[in-house]
């Protein structure tokens, strides 16, 4: 398959790492760079910006047959519809947060249960397993990992343990690939903060309330 990727270089690299062996990857940094040839030859799109720029869906309506995967780790279809009415394209959400793409299972959300079979067929062609999760901000895995990262910041702030010890303990105790602070660096402190902020605004649950130390690091970066 020909996969059109619209995203930052890091996004492009992760999609290539997951799908590049069996498919042709054509990557662009934004919509304005997409060539006519690439657009009309693509079989499927992975767009990392639609959740932030819903109006981009209008661009894809030039090809209503084209299926789009959009990064929904920090949003949901409910929010998307506030800014953009229904599109002719089939749009699936996926967990496009850094470090979560190149895994055996693609975490996905649907706008309509009727689209489940289409997702099944498409993921079969792409050669990936998938898991459908509830259409909520943070999906499932990002919520869990970012909550763990937030708790790790509280632990450091309270002076209970240091960052290196927490990272080592998490990897040895849970067999996670990264410790909380390693994961935060790979995802990006800004993304971790903004995801937790969005989840807290959505749920008002105290477990997602951002640690002051994490907020301090975030503010130092912006």
Burial class (CB in 10 A: 0-12, 13-18, 19+), 174: exposed
Closest to 141 (Cα-Cα) out of 185, 183, 204: 183
Euclidean distance between CA atoms 122 and 144, whole angstroms: 27
Euclidean distance between CA atoms 49 and 32, whole angstroms: 13
pTM: 0.91
Average pLDDT over residues 200-213: 94
Averaged pLDDT score across all residues of the chain: 94
Euclidean distance between CA atoms 174 and 50, whole angstroms: 34
The helix (H) or strand (E) run that includes residue 187 is helix 180-187
Closest to 142 (Cα-Cα) out of 111, 201, 183: 183
Give the pLDDT confidence score for residue 69 in this predicted structure: 97
Query: Residue 174: which pLDDT band, with cuts at 50, 70 and 90?
Result: confident
Give the pLDDT confidence score for residue 83 in this predicted structure: 63
pLDDT in tens, 96-121: 999 999 999 999 999 989 999 999 99
Residue 39 makes CB contacts below 8 A (sequence gap 6+) with 4, 62, 63
Please give the domain boundaries of the chain with CATH numbers for all domains: 2-132 (3.40.50.720), 141-221 (1.10.1040.50)
Q: For residues 195 and 73, is the Cβ–Cβ distance under 8 A? A: yes
Give the pLDDT confidence score for residue 154 in this predicted structure: 96
């Amino acid at each position: 398959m020909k996969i059109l990727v619209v995203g930052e270089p890091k996004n492009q690299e992760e999609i290539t790492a997951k799908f590049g062996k069996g498919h042709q990857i054509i990557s662009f940094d934004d919509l304005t760079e997409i060539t006519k040839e690439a657009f009309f030859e693509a079989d499927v799109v992975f767009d990392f910006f639609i959740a932030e720029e819903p109006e981009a869906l209008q661009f894809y309506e030039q090809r209503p047959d084209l299926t789009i995967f959009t990064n929904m780790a920090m949003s949901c279809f409910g929010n998307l519809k506030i800014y953009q009415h229904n599109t002719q394209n089939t749009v699936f959400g996926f967990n496009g947060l850094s470090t979560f793409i190149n895994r055996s299972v693609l975490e996905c959300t649907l706008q309509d249960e009727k689209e489940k079979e289409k997702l099944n067929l498409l993921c079969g062609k792409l050669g990936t397993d998938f898991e459908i999760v509830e259409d909520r901000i943070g999906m499932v895995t990002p919520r869990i990992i970012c909550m763990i990262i937030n708790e790790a910041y509280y632990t450091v702030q309270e002076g209970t343990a240091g960052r290196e010890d927490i990272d080592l303990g998490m990897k040895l105790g849970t067999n996670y690939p990264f410790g909380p602070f390693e994961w935060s660096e790979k995802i990006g402190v800004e993304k971790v903060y903004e995801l937790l902020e969005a989840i807290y605004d959505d749920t008002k649950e105290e477990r997602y309330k951002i640690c002051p130390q994490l907020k301090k690091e975030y503010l130092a970066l912006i």
